[in-house]
Structure 1
Amino acid sequence: MIKVLIVEDDPMVREINEKFLKKVDGFILHNSVNSIEKAKDVILEGNLDLVLLDVFFPLGKGTDLLKWIRQENLKCDVILITADRNTETVEEAFRYGAVDYLVKPFIFNRFKEALLQFKSRKNSFENVDNIEQSIIDKYTIKDNNHVLEYDENIGEIKGFNQYTYEKVLGGIASLGDDSFTSEEIAINIGVSRITARRYLDYLEKENKLIVEMEYGKVGRPKNKYKIK
């Protein structure tokens, strides 16, 4: 199990992150604290794999904790979870080795994707003396073929809203390159099949998805969608 420390001063956000973490297999909450100093105490105890870290605190910044971890040569990784969209903060986070950066508010699927990517990389590196280039490329070179272009004007279209649109995009992203039905997306993100179908059909009309008919032995054929 991957042991995780959550560092967040807002009790409501901390509780949400804890609940999200429990829903991802392979991870366990090691501790949850509300300040940088408390986080340092927990990290120094050792036996920790990952820190989910906010940026803004009454005393200090999360990036200061990230720098401290690197300066002390401590073996744990960090994912930033913050409302800070400042370019300098993002650049600084990656410069000091953050493995991901989530901007609040975010959907659960994006949170899950960050954790599963970290778990996959960690598992690939364990008990291996030499890493092949193909394995390194898997975690450093992003294949954008399965990423849909974001439409920031979707909320202006009658009958559509930005929040549901983002949930649909997150649901599609979580399936990677696999084809999917409207029923699968609906279950994935917690909306009705009709709602999922409307958004998928919109994306198909925008030439972002392709749709194929899947014929079974009985009943109507199913629409199967795939990122173009």
Structure 2
Amino acid sequence: MEHSVLVVDDDFMVARLHSVYVDRTPGFRTAGVAHGAAEAVRQAARLSPDLVLLDLYLPDGPGLEALRRIREVAPRTDFLVVSAAKDTETVRQAQRAGVVNYLIKPFEQAELRARLGHYRAARLALEGTRSADQAHVDRLFPVPGPAQARPRPDALPKGLSAPTASLVEGALRAAGPEGLSASECAAGIGLSRVSARRYLEHFVAADRAGVHLRYGTTGRPERRYTWRS
């Protein structure tokens, strides 16, 4: 499944750069670009994007007001704020408006990629399920405090990061029943093969992924990994 993204930023060069970041992230594509609030609303009504990358400083109105107007014409759209605004009141307003994440400018490509990966993994966690268990819910709403500190059987080993694990999980889910190899996973999300295999084997050890051998005509059999629903 590919997520369509509407990039909203008043700066033409920044919007172009963010579009490149989106298109380089597996499972995402830029569906449109807007440089103002009114244009963003029109584009959202036409495209019904899965996600809006939303700047809060727009020339014809506040970004959060644009968010509310977009919700009226595209109610199933989610929002990820990318803005230089970092005062606490603006952050609180964005949180109350239901944004899925908030990224303060300037940022590196890897930071946006990690947040997109988390968004994709969270949405895929509910695909094909009619009833969510606590594990599904926790992917959408991270558990704070003591519950987060409790040891978990799938806790990441030292040296593995949660954002990269989300990217690998998203790649596994997107691969479906055919699965993927460590080399394919590495190429898809920009990791080394060795690093990709560490994450894949971690998911196998945590019983969140399965692995089987595929035999070719020559050489060693290939290990292929599939996500357990």
After TM superposition, the score normalised by the length of structure 1 is 0.61
Distance 1:25 1:73 in 2: 24
User: Does the residue aligned with 1:48 lie in a helix, a strand or coil?
Assistant: coil
Question: Superposed, which structure 2 residues align to 1:129-148 within 5 Å?
Answer: 129-142=130-143
Q: What is the alpha-carbon distance in structure 2 between the residues aligned to residue 36 and residue 125 of structure 1? A: 31
Taking structure 1 as reference, are residues 172 and 132 closer, same or farther at Cα in structure 2, changes over 3 Å only? closer
CA distance in 1, matches of 2:74, 2:20: 30
Write the distance in 2 (CA, Å) between the matches of 1:73 and 1:95: 18
What whole-Å deviation, never above 9, does each CA across 1:165-217 have from its counterpart, x for those lacking one? xxxxxx9664459xxxxxxxxxx89xxxxxxxxxxxxxxxxxxxxxxxxxxxx
Over aligned residues, Cα RMSD in angstroms?
2.4
Equivalence for 1:8: 9
Question: 1:25 is matched with which residue?
Answer: 26
Distance 2:25 2:74 in 1: 28
1:1-228 alignment runs, 5 A limit:
1-71=2-72, 74-142=75-143, 174-175=163-164
SS of corresponding position for 1:6? strand
The answer on whether the counterparts of 1:66 and 1:93 sit within 8 Å (CA) in structure 2 is: no
Seq. identity, %: 27
Tell which deviates more after alignment, 91-100 or 62-71: 62-71
> What amino acid maps onto 1:80 in structure 2?
V
Change (3 A) 1:142 1:133: closer
8 Å CA contact 1:70–1:96 kept in 2: the answer is no
Separation in 2, partners of 1:12, 1:90: 25
Query: What CA distance in whole angstroms lies between the structure 2 residues aligned with 1:73 and 1:129?
Result: 23
Q: Give per-residue Cα distances to partners, 1:71-100, cap 9 Å, x unaligned.
A: 557110000000000111111111011000
Please tell me the residue identity of whatever aligns with 1:12: M
Unmatched segments (≥5 aa) in structure 1: 146-170, 178-187, 190-228
Q: Distance in 2 between matches of 1:11 and 1:50?
A: 19
CA contact (8 A) 1:109 1:174 kept: no
Q: How far apart are the structure 2 equivalents of 1:42 and 1:58?
A: 16
Q: Which runs of 4+ in 1 moved over 6 A?
A: none
- Report the AA paired with residue 14 of structure 2: V
My pick for the range that moved more, 49-58 or 38-47, is 38-47
Deviation at 1:126, TM superposition (A): 2.2
CA distance in 1, matches of 2:143, 2:112: 17
Change (3 A) 1:74 1:174: closer
CA contact (8 A) 1:7 1:39 kept: yes
- The CA deviation string for residues 99-125 of structure 1, in whole angstroms up to 9 with x for no partner, is 000000112111011101111111122
Given that residues 5 and 29 in structure 1 are in contact (C-alpha distance below 8 angstroms), is that contact kept between their aligned partners in structure 2? yes
Structure number with larger C-alpha Rg: 1
Query: Per the alignment, in what secondary structure is the counterpart of residue 113 of structure 2?
Result: helix
Q: Distance in 1 between matches of 2:44 and 2:73?
A: 11
Deviations 1:29-59 (A, max 9, x none): 1001111111111111244100000000111
Q: Which amino acid in structure 2 is aligned with residue 135 of structure 1?
A: H
How many residues end up aligned between the 2 structures? 154
Contact 1:55 1:81 in 2 (8 A): yes
Residues 11 and 35 of structure 2 are in contact (CA less than 8 Å); yes or no, is this contact kept in structure 1? Answer: yes
